[in-house]
């Protein structure tokens, strides 16, 4: 499928990047609530006319908090999927086994990283923010699908973090963002960048064992999970508006809520679905596994494209 990846090179690369949660958050390293947590490309608060600057800052930070919860959530189905693949393939290829165990260990570390950040947020934000969940129930609902469908989801999520760091935060000198949050996005991406190779290798191994009907089921499951995730994101955008009302001690009119929703819902869709499923490396792997579904992927991707925020301006 893609000849450039190997379990051996993944292991070597992993040894080079080996940070600890405590290097990134805790002690003197705390969130700075005077600054935005996410870049505008991910949070999209600037174009909301019914909010003043202080309220936009609050909404940006609420989006930062939901980012922590949403990623903590997806990592919860990545770990058992990787372990499940290892169980199926056994220890004959011991290098592959070590690489997969390391992969699962890193994702467990990421869950701890996101939880530590979420605790720091809760300590400093000043009001209650709600997130969709419980995370383990959502993760379990996703994990019920076929391994092929779940692995395709994981692959796009890992490529998505590239957009979240490389194209949003690195070299971003025009926004003054919280240093700890930038560090989180950078360190997460450093390891996710290697996971994309391991995901591709796992998918290659799995696809070789599947019949055409099983491949079809897996592809169908992929689209079902995308729709399921989208439902969760839309619910999260609603919860954010309630969190913003509490944070700003303001009650929004229906028109104001509609404006926030009209910008935030597509923002969530692009940040957590579109930026991953349109990534060329994801599309390449997807099209190799399910060539007959290429057109469907392209069609579904249209629903999650980056939006022009100008269309919401009065
Ligand atoms: Fe991760
Ligand atoms: Fe990962």
> What is the full DSSP assignment across 46-106?
TT-TTS-HHHHHHHHHHHHHHHHHHHHHHHHHHHHHHHHHHHHHTTSSHHHHHHHHHHHHH
> Ligand 2 center to residue 60 CA distance, Å?
24
Q: From the CA of 236, how far away is ligand 1's center (Å)?
A: 20
Q: Which domains are present in the chain?
A: 36-312 (1.10.620)
Condensed to tens digits (0 to 9), the pLDDT of residues 45-75 reads: 999 999 999 999 999 999 999 999 999 999 9
Confidence (pLDDT) at 67:
97
Question: Of 42, 76, 80, 75, nearest to 59 (Cα)?
Answer: 42
C-alpha 110 – ligand 1 centre gap (Å):
5
pLDDT of 117 > 60? The answer is: yes
CA of 191 to the centre of ligand 2 (A): 7
Beta bridge partners of 36: 177
The pLDDT value given to residue 174: 79
Lowest mean pLDDT among 11-15, 200-204, 206-210, 229-233: 11-15
Cα of 74 from ligand 2 centre, angstroms: 9
88 has pLDDT over 70: yes
What backbone torsions phi and psi does residue 29 show, to the nearest 5 degrees? -90, 95
Q: Write the burial class of residue 311 (CB in 10 Å: 0-12 exposed, 13-18 middle, 19+ buried).
A: exposed
State in Å: Cα 233 to ligand 1 middle. 19
Cα(107) to centroid of ligand 1, in Å? 5
Mean pLDDT of the chain: 93
Residue 311 pLDDT greater than 60, yes or no: no
Can the peptide bond before residue 134 be classed as cis, meaning omega within 30 degrees of 0?
Answer: yes
Per-residue pLDDT, averaged over 18-28, amounts to 91
188 alpha carbon – ligand 1 mean position (Å): 6
Count other Cβ atoms within 10 Å, centred on residue 183. 16
Nearest CA to 55 out of 245, 264, 262, 238 is that of 245
Q: How far is CA 48 from CA 168, 209, 247, 259, 261, in A?
A: 20, 50, 17, 7, 10
159 Cα: distance to centroid of ligand 2 (angstroms): 9
Is the pLDDT reported for residue 17 higher than 90?
no
Give the ligand whose atoms come closest to the C-alpha of residue 10: 2
- Determine the 3-state secondary structure of 303 from DSSP: coil
Q: How far is the CA of 75 from the centre of ligand 1 (A)?
A: 6
Mean pLDDT across the stretch 256-278?
96
Q: Ligand 1 center to residue 242 CA distance, Å?
A: 28
Contact 272, 229 (CB under 8 A): yes
Percentage of residues of the chain with pLDDT beyond 90: 86
Ligand 1 centre to CA of 31 (Å) is: 20
User: Which residues share a beta bridge with 177?
Assistant: 36
Cα 137 to averaged position of ligand 1 atoms, centre (Å): 19
Q: Which residue has the higher pLDDT, 273 or 168?
A: 273
Q: What is the dihedral of CA 137, 79, 233, 214, to 10 degrees?
A: -90
Q: Which of 149, 185, 163 is nearest to 67 (CA)?
A: 185
Question: Which tokens is 300 given?
Answer: 């579904």
The position carrying tokens 């609902």 is: 141
Query: pLDDT tens digits for 229-266?
Result: 999 999 999 999 999 999 999 999 999 999 999 999 99
The yes-or-no verdict on residue 18 having pLDDT over 60 is: yes
pTM above 0.75, yes or no: yes
Whole-number pLDDT of residue 214? 98
> Which ligand lies nearest the alpha carbon of 100?
2
Which ligand is the nearest neighbour of the Cα of 202?
2
Q: Nearest bound ligand to CA 108?
A: 1
Give me ligand 1 centre to Cα 133, in Å.
18
Question: Distance, CA 94 to ligand 2 centroid (Å)?
Answer: 21
292 by Cβ neighbours in 10 Å (0-12 / 13-18 / 19+) ranks as: exposed
pLDDT of res. 9: 93
- Maximum Cα–Cα distance across the chain: 63
Determine the pLDDT at residue 307: 61
To 5 degrees, how large is the angle CA 138–CA 233–CA 145? 35
Average pLDDT of the segment spanning 129-157? 96
Residue 309 pLDDT: 46
C-alpha separations of 209 from 39, 204, 223, 225, 229 in Å: 42, 9, 21, 22, 27
Q: What is the whole-number distance in angstroms between the Cα of residue 257 and the centre of ligand 1?
A: 32
Give the distance (Å) from ligand 2 centre to CA of residue 193.
8
Q: How far is the CA of 189 from the centre of ligand 1 (A)?
A: 8
């Amino acid at each position: 499928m893609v000849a450039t990846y190997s379990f051996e090179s993944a292991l070597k690369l992993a040894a080079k990047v080996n940070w600890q949660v405590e290097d990134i958050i805790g002690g003197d390293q705390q969130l700075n609530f005077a600054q935005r947590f996410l870049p505008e490309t991910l949070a999209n608060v600037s174009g909301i006319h019914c909010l003043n600057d202080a309220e936009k800052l609050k909404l940006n930070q609420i989006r930062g908090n939901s980012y922590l919860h949403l990623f903590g959530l997806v990592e919860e189905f990545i770990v058992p999927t990787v372990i499940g693949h290892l169980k199926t393939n056994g220890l004959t290829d011991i290098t592959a086994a070590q690489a997969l165990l390391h992969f699962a260990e890193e994702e467990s570390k990421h869950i701890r990283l996101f939880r530590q950040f979420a605790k720091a947020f809760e300590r400093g934000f000043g009001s209650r923010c709600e997130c969709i969940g419980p995370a383990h129930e959502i993760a379990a609902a996703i994990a019920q699908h076929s391994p092929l469908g779940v692995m395709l989801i994981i692959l796009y999520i890992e490529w998505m973090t590239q957009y979240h760091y490389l194209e949003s935060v690195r070299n971003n000198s025009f926004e003054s963002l919280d240093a700890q949050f930038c560090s989180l996005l950078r360190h997460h991406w450093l390891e996710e960048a290697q996971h994309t190779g391991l995901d591709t290798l796992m998918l290659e191994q799995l696809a070789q064992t599947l019949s055409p009907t099983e491949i079809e089921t897996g592809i169908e499951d992929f689209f079902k999970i995308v729709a399921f995730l989208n439902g969760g994101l839309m619910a999260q955008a609603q919860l954010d508006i309630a969190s913003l009302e509490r944070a700003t001690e303001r009650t929004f009119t229906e028109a104001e809520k509609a404006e926030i929703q009209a910008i935030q819902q597509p923002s969530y869709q692009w940040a957590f679905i579109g930026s991953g499923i349109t990534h060329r490396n994801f599309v390449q792997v997807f099209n190799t596994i399910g060539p007959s579904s290429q057109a469907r992927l392209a069609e579904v991707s249209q629903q999650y494209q980056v939006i022009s925020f100008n269309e919401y301006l009065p």
